[in-house]
Amino acid sequence: MGAGIVHVFLAAGSAVTLAEADADRARVGAANVEASLRKAEERGKLAEPAASLLARLSVVDDLGALPTDTALVVEAVPEKIELKLAVFTAVAARCPDAVLASNTSSLSIAELAKGLPGARVIGMHFFNPVPVQALVELVVHDGLPDRVVATARRWAEALGKTVIEVRDSPGFATSRLGVAVGLEAIRMLEERVASAEDIDTGMRLGYGWPMGPLRLTDLVGLDVRLSIADHLATRLGPRFNAPQLLRDKVARGELGRKSGQGFFTW
């Protein structure tokens, strides 16, 4: 999702620094941003040539190389609280005035904010594919100044997104509902209620979903969905227990679109 988030900020006119964990990931990250922008350009979605947007992009492989006057940092690292905390701790020291936004799908924003100087951590939850989906879910915890919320809203709206504001609670509004449906679809597949194709077609044509819940799980990533489900199960109870089929597929490396195989072959 990081590449999509970089894409939309570049397209909205910002200068962006993409920070990755090492040089290999930095190369892949930069290539993903370029591919996303080229696709949007081919579809006539960019007001400026992709090449001029890319000229505003810097790529670094060290958080210590972020510009110190950075106004907004959006983290999109894997859904592990220790990792996100480590990133925010490093960034808070490097960029003293930045608003720190997390693209987490489910983790507590208050827990991510704990111990960091200044009340400036907010949830800024984007949706796949980021350039296409019109929503940003702002996740707000007690003690966050209205000024930070207003600033984050202004930025999200400058990207052309519609904002919903949600209280910090497990899975917020969108992941809680989206994961509930996704897990139930996987349980239905385990119980041989219908094929993956037919479960998805049911929700597409019967409910008007743009894609069915299983294909959507492939798009999001089975590993991502599993992490969210495990977290929600600890906070909201066994109704979010992950089906065995999901665990087995993740263990086999069938992660969805990004690995070429999930509930469908890509």
* Contacting positions for ligand CAA (CB under 6 A): 36, 39-40, 43, 45, 105, 127-129, 131-133, 175, 178, 210-211, 216, 220, 224
Beta strand 135-140 with 57-60: parallel, antiparallel or unpaired?
Answer: unpaired
- Structure token pair of residue 22: 């090492």
Residue in the block written with tokens 């449906």: 181
CB of residue 127 to ligand CAA, shortest distance in Å: 4
- Structure token pair of residue 238: 């066994």
CB of residue 117 to ligand CAA, shortest distance in Å: 28
Cα(233)–Cα(27) distance, integer angstroms: 36
Residue in the block written with tokens 């992490």: 227
- Distances in Å between the alpha carbon of 31 and those of 48, 51, 82, 256? 19, 13, 27, 20
CB of residue 237 to ligand CAA, shortest distance in Å: 20
CB of residue 40 to ligand CAA, shortest distance in Å: 3
Output the residue with the shortest Cβ distance to ligand CAA. 105
CB of residue 106 to ligand CAA, shortest distance in Å: 8
3-state secondary structure string, 115-150? Answer: CCCCCCEEEEECCCCCCCCCEEEEEECCCCCHHHHH
- Distances in Å between the alpha carbon of 156 and those of 9, 138, 227? 9, 9, 26
Nearer to ligand CAA, 70 or 217 (CB): 217
Nearer to ligand CAA, 70 or 227 (CB): 227
Residue in the block written with tokens 């590993």: 223
Nearer to ligand CAA, 102 or 105 (CB): 105
CB of residue 41 to ligand CAA, shortest distance in Å: 9
Nearer to ligand CAA, 70 or 106 (CB): 106
Amino acid at 40: A
Q: Under a CB-based contact definition with an 8 Å cutoff, are residues 71 and 99 in contact?
A: yes
Nearer to ligand CAA, 92 or 163 (CB): 163
Residue in the block written with tokens 């990081």: 2
Amino acid at 73: V
CB of residue 94 to ligand CAA, shortest distance in Å: 26
Nearer to ligand CAA, 133 or 151 (CB): 133
Nearer to ligand CAA, 105 or 108 (CB): 105
